[in-house]
Structure 1
Amino acid sequence: MRDRFELFTMAVTRAYKYVQQIKKHESATFGIKGIHVMCMVALGKSEEGLTVTELSARCCEDKAAISRTVDNLAEKGYVAYEETEAKRRWRTKVTLTDKGREIAKGVDELIEDIVTKIRGDLTTEQEAAFYRVFSAINDRLAEYCEMLEAR
């Protein structure tokens, strides 16, 4: 059992480090950072925009980091806040600008290319099974963590 724990933990850690390395390297192509990529992807999927709280949940990052990221993207002209009052920004929707949509489109194309390369010769069924199992494991990890916090 311990061998499976070590194998799982090391595999997830290695995968995370590789993903971070890819995001860091490839996002530089667009003049943005890895955390910016996740925000751009999430905002690109939302016509009506997202709040910092919603972005935080979708990107699995804390609100302070997402707030700084959104501020940085706004300075670059990639996103805009619906609310201009600084005190209320964390509760207001953030949307991509035209310039941001161009970047998001390029990021989406790059992601599609990377995912295709990484998928390699896996069949559609193998890939679907992997994500189904990995999602189930993540759900169980979340349940376990909720149980820990309830103690």
Structure 2
Amino acid sequence: MKVALLLLATLAAVSAQSEPWCRCAAFVTYEYTEMMVYEAPEVTIDSCQDDVKQCKNRCSKELAELTNDGDLWSLTAEGITVGQHICSNLLRHLIYFLHNHKIYGYYEVCGGAWQYAGVMSQQMLCCNGGKHEHCIS
């Protein structure tokens, strides 16, 4: 009976596991914290252990394509700037003002720690009342 229960529990644990996956997102860095400002659609990878590099490369490529290599003034498919998209997202989190911050790309493999993807914005981001503006040093 105990063996049957152990087998059943193992089967349930294995069936609960999903396919390996990779998350990709952009973050703004503050002195003591990071805040996600954009998350790309999840990507399926072949293995949680062996495909960290695959996840990083896909994430870097996706963020570069979505932002025209980190250009915050590039227009999105919706006709707004990448920076305005981020400022609007920050506004939804009740962050009205942000001045002189770079945006960094990170990736996460199968629920592990977020790791830097080697991607950052070309310009500093400045949001004034939720509106993307040119930064003044």
TM over 0.5: no
Q: Using CA pairs below 8 Å that are at least 6 residues apart, which structure has the higher relative contact order?
A: 2
**Structure 1-normalised TM-score?**
0.29
